[in-house]
């Protein structure tokens, strides 16, 4: 008889959410800021008093986000990371586009004809001609937590070649400092802000070709003021110091499952982990863990009912069998040490 979970493991009293790399719950402070922003209903581009009031709030949110992220360049509010990536890859004043093999699907949708840089020993191979190109390299890989840590060196190489460095910081912003780069992408719902807003951080607007419309002429569509205020509140409430203060509990989790963690880079984040079971498929693990009250995701993508190997794991050189048994555990602003212990115990009980 099939059991939804092993006989020796019992469902936990309350559900535990460990899929923050997909999205994090909205912080209470961010929700309060959004509710307040709904009262500022006017279009920030309107010239009347109501519009000017909304515009002032929008610019205040812009300054607060920049300050919280320690970014001294420009900031374009977008509908999320996907739009920010599209603007950067398609409006940058560069003739070519180059991306790493493990970038998010949004990068490949925005630049389907881009040259792809391979991965060796967990690092991007930068042996291509980087001249006159916008080069996209992520800060933290969303499937494995691998980090490309020598961004200062990468920036120097790209700059010296006459290129522009774009870093997707969707999984790192609000948790670790932004890297040295020409452009960076952030997504609010990854750090406790609302879904539907992100930003493209630009060192200098001269790097981009404007298209007209809102946000200094770099995007179409009226700005989402309530979401911008919520995004600012989420960053201010959390901050780098708050994330550092809970690092010890994540380190303890890493120690418990060190032997099962999939290492795909020379440096890894402390909030996204790929874990490989010795016998169970990722799909079986997800079903059993969900029945036990634990929400995680797979390191492989499920398409049309058939589990297919992740493009990212393949680029990292992970064999098919290992990839098929790998799941992802990701932590967020409200993850507790007790929740991590509960997951570790439940996962170890799987047979």
Residues annotated as part of the active site: 302
**Dihedral angle, C-alpha 170, 171, 177, 183, nearest 10 °:** -30
Tell me how far apart the alpha carbons of residues 286 and 273 are, in angstroms, rounded to a whole number: 15
Instruction: Please give, one letter per residue, the 3-state secondary structure of the chain.
Output: CCCCCCCCCCCCCCCEECECCCCCCCCHHHHHHHHHHHCCCCCCCCCCHHHHHHHHHHHHHHHHHHHHCCCCCEEEEECCHHHHHHHHHHHECCCEEEEECCCCHHHHHHCCCCEEECEECCEECCCCCCCCEEEECCCECCCCCEECCCHHHHHHHHHHCCCEEEEECCCCCCCCCCCCCCEEEEEHHHCCCCCCCEEEEECCHHHECCCCCEHHHCECCCCCHHHHHHHHHHHHHHHHHHHHHCHHHHHHHHHHCHHHECCCCCEECCCEEEEECCCCCHHHHHHHHHHCCEECEECCEEECCEEECCHHHHHCCCCHHHHHCEEEEECCCCCCHHHHHHHHHHHHHCC
The Cα-based distances of 20 to 25, 91, 101, 158 in angstroms read 8, 30, 23, 32
Count, residues in the chain: 351
């Amino acid at each position: 008889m099939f059991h939804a979970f092993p006989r020796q493991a019992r469902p936990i009293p309350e559900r535990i959410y460990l899929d923050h790399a997909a999205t994090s719950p909205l912080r209470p402070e961010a929700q309060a800021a959004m509710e307040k922003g709904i009262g500022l209903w006017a279009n920030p581009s309107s010239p009347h008093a109501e519009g000017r009031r909304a515009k002032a709030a929008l610019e205040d949110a812009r300054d607060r986000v920049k300050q919280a992220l320690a970014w001294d360049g420009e900031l374009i509010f977008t509908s999320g990371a996907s739009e920010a990536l599209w603007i950067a890859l398609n409006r940058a004043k560069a003739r070519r586009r180059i991306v790493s093999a493990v970038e998010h699907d949004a990068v490949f949708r925005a630049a389907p004809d881009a040259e792809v840089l391979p991965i060796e020993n967990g690092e991007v191979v930068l042996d291509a001609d980087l001249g006159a190109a916008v080069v996209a390299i992520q800060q933290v890989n969303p499937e494995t937590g691998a980090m490309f840590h020598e961004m200062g060196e990468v920036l120097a190489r790209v700059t010296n070649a006459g290129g522009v460095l774009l870093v997707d910081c969707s999984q790192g912003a609000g948790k670790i400092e932004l890297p040295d780069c020409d452009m960076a992408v952030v997504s609010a719902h990854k750090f406790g802000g609302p879904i539907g807003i992100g930003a493209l951080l630009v060192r200098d607007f001269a790097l981009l070709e404007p298209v007209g419309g809102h946000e200094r002429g770099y995007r179409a569509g009226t700005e989402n003021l309530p979401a911008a205020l919520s995004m600012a509140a989420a960053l201010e409430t959390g901050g780098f110091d708050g994330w550092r203060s809970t690092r010890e509990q994540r380190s303890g989790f890493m120690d418990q499952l060190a032997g099962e963690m999939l290492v795909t880079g020379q440096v890894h984040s402390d909030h996204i982990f790929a874990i490989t079971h010795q016998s169970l498929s990722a799909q079986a693990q997800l079903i059993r863990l969900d029945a036990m009250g634990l929400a995680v995701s797979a390191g492989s993508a499920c398409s049309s009912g058939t589990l297919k190997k992740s493009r990212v794991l393949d680029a990292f050189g992970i064999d098919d069998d290992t990839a098929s048994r790998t799941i992802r555990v990701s932590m967020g602003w409200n993850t507790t040490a007790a929740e991590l212990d509960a997951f570790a115990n439940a996962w170890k009980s799987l047979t």
